[in-house]
Amino acid sequence: MKVKLPGIETFPNQFQGYTIRIEIPEYTAVCPKTGLPDFGTILLEYQPVKQVLELKSLKGYVLAYRNVGIFYENAVNRMLKDFVAAAHPKWCQVTGEFNTRGGMHSTITAQYRNPPKSR
Amino acid sequence: MKVKLPGIETFPNQFQGYTIRIEIPEYTAVCPKTGLPDFGTILLEYQPVKQVLELKSLKGYVLAYRNVGIFYENAVNRMLKDFVAAAHPKWCQVTGEFNTRGGMHSTITAQYRNPPKSR
Amino acid sequence: MKVKLPGIETFPNQFQGYTIRIEIPEYTAVCPKTGLPDFGTILLEYQPVKQVLELKSLKGYVLAYRNVGIFYENAVNRMLKDFVAAAHPKWCQVTGEFNTRGGMHSTITAQYRNPPKSR
Amino acid sequence: MKVKLPGIETFPNQFQGYTIRIEIPEYTAVCPKTGLPDFGTILLEYQPVKQVLELKSLKGYVLAYRNVGIFYENAVNRMLKDFVAAAHPKWCQVTGEFNTRGGMHSTITAQYRNPPKSR
Amino acid sequence: MKVKLPGIETFPNQFQGYTIRIEIPEYTAVCPKTGLPDFGTILLEYQPVKQVLELKSLKGYVLAYRNVGIFYENAVNRMLKDFVAAAHPKWCQVTGEFNTRGGMHSTITAQYRNPPKSR
Amino acid sequence: MKVKLPGIETFPNQFQGYTIRIEIPEYTAVCPKTGLPDFGTILLEYQPVKQVLELKSLKGYVLAYRNVGIFYENAVNRMLKDFVAAAHPKWCQVTGEFNTRGGMHSTITAQYRNPPKSR
Amino acid sequence: MKVKLPGIETFPNQFQGYTIRIEIPEYTAVCPKTGLPDFGTILLEYQPVKQVLELKSLKGYVLAYRNVGIFYENAVNRMLKDFVAAAHPKWCQVTGEFNTRGGMHSTITAQYRNPPKSR
Amino acid sequence: MKVKLPGIETFPNQFQGYTIRIEIPEYTAVCPKTGLPDFGTILLEYQPVKQVLELKSLKGYVLAYRNVGIFYENAVNRMLKDFVAAAHPKWCQVTGEFNTRGGMHSTITAQYRNPPKSR
Amino acid sequence: MKVKLPGIETFPNQFQGYTIRIEIPEYTAVCPKTGLPDFGTILLEYQPVKQVLELKSLKGYVLAYRNVGIFYENAVNRMLKDFVAAAHPKWCQVTGEFNTRGGMHSTITAQYRNPPKSR
Amino acid sequence: MKVKLPGIETFPNQFQGYTIRIEIPEYTAVCPKTGLPDFGTILLEYQPVKQVLELKSLKGYVLAYRNVGIFYENAVNRMLKDFVAAAHPKWCQVTGEFNTRGGMHSTITAQYRNPPKSR
C-alpha cells in the first residue's frame, strides 16, 4: 500500500441531494504474486457535498494502476480511501468486478458510510 | 446555468396516486470543455398532483439542449428543477445515463422529495 | 372517459393469500390527438378475495380499446377502476408500458390499495 | 380438486436455516374448458425443517398432471398444499408461470407463511 | 459427510466493512445415488474480519469435490461450515446453483449469520 | 383480396446500387375466421431504381390494414404486389413475422425477382 | 412407425414463389424407452405450390403426439413425410430441437428436396 | 446535396489484403421535412489500398452532419462517395441504421464495388 | 492417444438424407500439463447412413474422459475418429469449445468429409 | 514496426484438416499518438499443418504488447505475420476488435491465404 498514485482534482458542487455513478470498465493492474496483468471494471457511486470528482483527473488516477502490483482487496479499498479524501462525499461505494482467474470470478465492494437502500 | 430553455406545458390531472415514467433515449448536448457532443438517455419519473407534463412540449424542451454547452450534473439538476416548476408533482426523479467518454460511463440521479421505495 | 366498454366476468375464488399476474402484450388503442394507433403492454397484478377475473372475458375487455380514442393515463386508470369494480380484490396494480412515440417511451402505473413490497 | 395425485417422498433434513429452490420448466396439464394442453414453469422455494422433498418423487408428482384437467389457480394452490403436507417446511412458495394463451401470459404465486424478504 | 477435504488457507485482512463475492462456475462432484457427475456454480459471499480466504487454496478446496459422492444440500452446507471455520467472517452465504437433472434445476442457499439486505 | 387500400407515394431516386430495409413492428389486422386481431412485424427490403417509397405514405398504407380481415399469406403477398407496383424496384422482398396464435408462430416471406445473396 | 395420427387439412394456394415458416414450441411426446415425456420445438419451413397447410388442423396434428411413444428421429421424419403428403410442396424442411436429456441436447433436421440456400 | 462538409484526412497504408470496419453509433442530423433531429449508427467497411482513413478526421467529418438537414438515403450515399474519394479503397460499404420514426425503422446500405461475400 | 475409452453403441437407421446434431455441454477432462480439470462443450453433427449413435452409450463415452489427461486437439480429433468408426456416417463434424484458461478461449473443429454448406 | 516481441513456441501437429480458433479478450497496448491505453479482443483462427501454436507461449506473446505503442492496423497485421512465421499454417486469419474510442468502434481483419467459407 506504499504505492504512489496521482491526486484527483475536484470542482465545486452546485446542487445537493443527488448521486453520481461512474463505471470504468478498463481497469488493469498487475498481480503481485504472478506478475501477470489483472483486468476488471470499477464502479464508483457517491453523493457529493461540496466537491465533485473531475472526470479527466479521475481517469488519470485509474490509469496509474496499469503497471502497479496490487491485490484486488487493496485496490478497491485504496480507491475508496482516495476518492473520499478528494471529494469528502456524504457517502461513497466502490465495487471492483475482476475478470475470471483460475476459474474464479471475484467482486469486492467497499463503503464509506452507508449508501441509502433506495438507490 | 443561464441557459434559456422553452417552457413545458401541462394539462389538468384527473386521477391520484399513480406514477408516470418517461424514457427519452435521444438526449444530446455539447460538452462545454471540448465542444464535442454528448449523448445519453434521460429517465423522468414522477407522481402527478394537479398537472401532467404534456409530451409534445416535453419533447421540445429536451430537444432544446441540442446545441447548448452544459455538463452532466447541471443538465440533470436543471431538468429536475424545470419539471418540478412546471408540474408541482408529489415527488420527482430524473436520471441521466450518458454514453461512454474516455472509457467512463456516468449516471447522474437527482430527486425532488423521496420517491417511494416500493416502485 | 365516457367510453362504453364491455363488462368483465368473474368466477368464485377458492383459495386465499395468493396473487395473480397477467401480462397482455397486445394492447392497442387510438391517440385522441393524432388519430394514430398506440400500442403497448398491460400488466395486471392483484390478490383475489371472493372473485377471480375470467380470462376470456378479460381479453374481450382489453380488445374493446382497439378503436377507442384514449390517452395513456386515462386508459391505465380506467382499467384499474374496472378491474377493481369487477373483482373487489385485496389490492390491485395496473401498469401500461407504451411503445415509443416521438422518441419517448412512457410507462404509467396505478394502484388500488398498497401491493405488498415482498412480491 | 378431486384429482388423485401420487404422494411425494421425503428424506430427513440434516441442516437448518437454509433454503431450497427448484425450477421445473416442463410442467404440462390440460385446460378443463378447452381440452387443450397448458404448458408452464413451476418454481418451488422452501426452507426445510425436518424433511426434504426427494427430487425423483417430486418429478413423478409433477409429471402426474400431464393428462389432468386443471385450472392455473387450482394447480398452483394444490401443489402448495401437497408440498407443505409432505415436508412441513418453515415456509413455502409456489409460482406457476404459464405459456401465453389468447395473447395473455399468467403467473400465479401462492405462499405458506411469509418467506423472508431478504432472499 | 465423513468426506476428507483439504484445508483452506487465509491471509490477514487489512480493511474493515467491505464484502467479498467469489463466483466459481466449474464445480463438479458425483451423485451418490446414480454415480453420475453433477455440475454447478458455487457463489460465496462474506464479510472478512481478521482473515481473507486465499484464492488458490480456495480453488484447490473446490477441486477436491471432483470425485466425491455428495448430495447438493450436503455440499453447500459443508462448504459454508468449512469457509466459516477457516475465515471466521462477520457473515457468510454460500449458494449452489446446479445444472438441470431430470428436468429440474435446483438452487441451495445457506447462511452463517444474516447478510445485510442492502448488498 | 378485394380489399381497398390507399396508394403509396414515391419520390425520384437519386442514387443507384443501394438497398433500403424498413422494419415496421406495429402491423395489425383482423383474422377473417375468428374476427380477433392479428399482430406482427413487416420487413420490407428493396433496391430502388427510379422511385423511392415515401415513408409517411408507406406508414398510412400499413395502418390501413388495422380493421381489414385478411390472412397472413394474403397480407404479405398483397403488400409485395403493391410495393412493386408503386416503386418498380430492381428486386423486393416482404417478410411478415406474426405473433404466436394457438402456440404457433408463423413467418411468411415473398419475393419479387431474386434478392442478391450477399446482403 | 405404426402410429395413427390425424390427417392435416389444406386450402388452395393463391400465390407462387413464397415461403412459409411455422415454429411450434409446445411439442411433447413420450420416450418409448423410459416412458418419460419429451419436450421440444418443431420448425416447419416449406414453399407451397397448390396447397397450404391449414393452421388449426396442423395444430391438432402436432397435439396428437402428446401420448405417443416415439423417438426423436422418427418424429421428425414422420412429420416431414406427413407434411409433404398433405401439401405437395416444392420443398420442405422439418427441424426438431429437443429439450436436454441426460446432459445432451439433440436437434434433428430432415428435408424433402433441397431448400434454397438464400433463405 | 449541396452540403459543405469537412475533408477526411488519410495516412499511407502499410499492408495489403485486410479490411477495416468502423462502427459510429452517435450519428445525428436533422430531418429536412420536419426539422426534428434524426439519430442512427453508421457502419463503414472497406479494404484499404494506398490510404487509410484517419480516425480523428473521420470523426470530425461525421460530427459535421449534426445540424445539416439531410434525408437518410442522401446521407448514406454522400458518405460513401466522400469515403471513396478520400481513400480510393478496393471496395467500400456504408450502412446507416436509423432510430425508429413513426413506428418505422430504416436501414440504408450503399456499396462501392462488390465487397467479398466471405467477410 | 493410448487412452482406453468405452465403445459407442448404435442402432439401425430408418431414414436417409437427414442430419443429427448433439450438444454436450458437460464435457470435462484433465490437462496433462497442469493436472487441473478442463471444461467445455462438445458439438457433434453428422448425417447417418446405416447406423445412428445410441444416446445413452454416447453419454457414457463422453463421461469416460472425466479423469483422462488429454489436450484439446487430441480430445476433439479422437472423438471424431471414434464417432466415425462407430457410425460410418456420410459426413461428421466435431467441435470442442473449451472454457477460458489463462485469458484464452479455444475452439477446435475437426471434420470427416465435407459437411454441406447449406446446413 | 521495429517493435521487439518474444517468439512463439509450437509443438508438432498430429492431425490434419481441422481448425483452431483462439479468442483473447484481454489485449491491451498503448496508442502511439495519445499515450493512452487501447483495449480489445484478438481472435486468431488457423488450420495447422506441421505445427500448433503453444498456448502459454502465445499468451506471453500477446502480453508483450502491454506497454508497446502501436496502431490497430499495425498490431493486427504484425500478429498475423508472427503467427504465420511460427506455425506455417495452411491459412490464418487475425481479427482485432477494439474498444470504443471517440465514439468509434474499430475492427481490423487480416488474412494469410483464404480461409474456407464453410467455417
How far apart are the C-alpha atoms of J22 and I73, rounded to whole Å?
12
Nearest C-alpha of chain H: how many angstroms from J33?
11
Taking CB atoms and an 8 Å cutoff, what residues of chain C touch F99? 26
First CA to last CA across chain A, in angstroms? 31
The answer to whether residues J15 and I84 touch, using CB atoms and an 8 Å cutoff, is: no
- Contact criterion met (CB < 8 Å) for F21 and H107: yes
How far apart are the C-alpha atoms of I61 and I30, rounded to whole Å?
16
Rounded to 5°, angle at Cα D48 from D47 and D51? 165
Chains I and D touch (3+ CB pairs under 8 A): no
What is the Rg, in whole angstroms, of the alpha carbon atoms belonging to chain D?
Answer: 14
Measure CA B38 to chain center. 15
Q: Which of E19, E56, E58 sits opposite A109 (nearest CB)?
A: E19
- Contact criterion met (CB < 8 Å) for D63 and G26: no
Say which of C27, C29, C38, C45 is annotated catalytic.
C38
How far apart are the C-alpha atoms of F91 and A116, rounded to whole Å?
59
- Contact criterion met (CB < 8 Å) for F119 and H108: no
Nearest-10 Cα torsion for F83, F87, F92, F93 = -20
The answer to whether residues E102 and E76 touch, using CB atoms and an 8 Å cutoff, is: no
First CA to last CA across chain E, in angstroms? 32
Q: Indicate the CATH number of H18-112 among 3.30.1130.10, 3.40.640.10, 1.10.357.10, 3.40.50.720.
A: 3.30.1130.10
Q: Which has more confidence, E102 or G107?
A: G107
- Contact criterion met (CB < 8 Å) for F37 and C63: yes
CATH topology of domain F16-112: GTP Cyclohydrolase I, domain 2 (3.30.1130)
The answer to whether residues D95 and D76 touch, using CB atoms and an 8 Å cutoff, is: yes
Taking CB atoms and an 8 Å cutoff, what residues of chain A touch E20? 73, 106-108
How far apart are the C-alpha atoms of F101 and G25, rounded to whole Å?
12
pLDDT digits (tens, 9 = 90+) for C24-37: 999 999 999 999 99
pLDDT digits (tens, 9 = 90+) for F30-72: 999 999 999 999 999 999 999 999 999 999 999 999 999 999 9
How far apart are the C-alpha atoms of J69 and D114, rounded to whole Å?
60
Exposed/middle/buried for E35, CB within 10 Å: 0-12, 13-18, 19+? Answer: exposed
pLDDT score at B117: 76
Q: Which of A43, A73, A83, A112 to mutate to test the interface with E (most CBs of E within 10 A)?
A: A73
DSSP SS3 for H57: helix
Taking CB atoms and an 8 Å cutoff, what residues of chain I touch A100? 100
> Is the four-CA dihedral A20, A21, A26, A28 of positive or negative sign?
positive
Say which of D8, D38, D44, D62 is annotated catalytic.
D38
The answer to whether residues D2 and D56 touch, using CB atoms and an 8 Å cutoff, is: no
pLDDT digits (tens, 9 = 90+) for E36-85: 999 999 999 999 999 999 999 999 999 999 999 999 999 999 999 999 99
Nearest-10 Cα torsion for H26, H27, H31, H36 = 20
How far apart are the C-alpha atoms of J35 and A63, rounded to whole Å?
11
pLDDT score at E119: 57
- Contact criterion met (CB < 8 Å) for A110 and E18: yes
Task: Work out the mean pLDDT of chain J and round it to a whole number.
Answer: 95
Mean pLDDT of J49-63: 96
What is the Rg, in whole angstroms, of the alpha carbon atoms belonging to chain G?
Answer: 14
- Residue F86's pLDDT band, with cuts at 50, 70 and 90, is very high
Find the largest Cα–Cα distance for chain A: 46
Chains J and I touch (3+ CB pairs under 8 A): yes
Say which of A8, A38, A46, A53 is annotated catalytic.
A38
Here the cell at position A19 is 448521486
Pairing of strands G37-46, G92-98: antiparallel
Say which of G38, G44, G70, G78 is annotated catalytic.
G38
What string of H, E and C letters represents the secondary structure of B63-78? HCCCCCECCHHHHHHH
pLDDT score at H98: 97
Q: Which of A18, A56, A118 sits opposite B77 (nearest CB)?
A: A18
CATH class of the structural domain A10-112: alpha beta
pLDDT score at C75: 97
Name residues of chain H where pLDDT drops below 70.
Answer: 1, 118-119
- Per-residue DSSP letters for I18-70? EEEEEEEEEEEEE-TTT--EEEEEEEEEE--SSEEE-HHHHHHHHHTTTT-B-
Is J92 among the catalytic positions? no
Task: Work out the mean pLDDT of chain C and round it to a whole number.
Answer: 95
What is the Rg, in whole angstroms, of the alpha carbon atoms belonging to chain H?
Answer: 14
Does residue E3 carry a pLDDT above 80? no
Taking CB atoms and an 8 Å cutoff, what residues of chain F touch H103? 24-26, 59
- Contact criterion met (CB < 8 Å) for E67 and I67: yes
pLDDT score at G6: 94
- Residue D102's pLDDT band, with cuts at 50, 70 and 90, is confident
pLDDT score at D1: 52
Q: Which of H28, H30, H39, H100 to mutate to test the interface with C (most CBs of C within 10 A)?
A: H100
Chains H and A touch (3+ CB pairs under 8 A): no
Interface of D with C (CB under 8 A): 1, 73-74, 76-77, 101-111, 114-115, 117
Mean pLDDT of I15-25: 97
- Per-residue DSSP letters for I71-116? -HHHHHHHHHHHHHHHH--S-EEEEEEEPPBTTBEEEEEEEESPPP
How far apart are the C-alpha atoms of C67 and C63, rounded to whole Å?
9
pLDDT digits (tens, 9 = 90+) for G52-83: 999 999 999 999 999 999 999 999 999 999 99
- Residue E87's Cβ-side half-sphere holds a number of Cα atoms within 13 Å equal to 31
Nearest C-alpha of chain A: how many angstroms from I35?
13
Is H82 among the catalytic positions? no
Name residues of chain B where pLDDT drops below 50.
Answer: none
pLDDT score at D99: 96
Q: Considering the domain I15-112, what is its CATH architecture? A: 2-Layer Sandwich (3.30)
- Contact criterion met (CB < 8 Å) for I20 and G106: yes
pLDDT digits (tens, 9 = 90+) for I22-70: 999 999 999 999 999 999 999 999 999 999 999 999 999 999 999 999 9
Q: Which of F66, F67, F68, F98 to mutate to test the interface with C (most CBs of C within 10 A)?
A: F66
Residue with cell 390440460: D30
Q: Which of B8, B11, B15, B28 to mutate to test the interface with C (most CBs of C within 10 A)?
A: B15
Report helix, strand and coil shares of chain D as percent, to nearest 5. Answer: 20, 40, 40
CATH topology of domain D13-112: GTP Cyclohydrolase I, domain 2 (3.30.1130)
The answer to whether residues I87 and I57 touch, using CB atoms and an 8 Å cutoff, is: no
pLDDT score at D87: 97
- Contact criterion met (CB < 8 Å) for C103 and H103: no
- Residue G30's Cβ-side half-sphere holds a number of Cα atoms within 13 Å equal to 14
What residues of I are labeled active site? Answer: 31, 38
pLDDT score at D17: 94
Interface of A with B (CB under 8 A): 13-15, 17-26, 52, 55-56, 58-59, 117-119
- Per-residue DSSP letters for E44-108? EEE--SSEEE-HHHHHHHHHTTTT-B--HHHHHHHHHHHHHHHH--S-EEEEEEEPPBTTBEEEE
Measure CA J69 to chain center. 16
The answer to whether residues G89 and G67 touch, using CB atoms and an 8 Å cutoff, is: no
Measure CA J61 to chain center. 9
Name residues of chain A where pLDDT drops below 50.
Answer: none
Interface of F with H (CB under 8 A): 13-15, 17-26, 52, 55-56, 58-59, 117-119
pLDDT score at C4: 87
How far apart are the C-alpha atoms of A101 and A71, rounded to whole Å?
13
Chains E and H touch (3+ CB pairs under 8 A): no
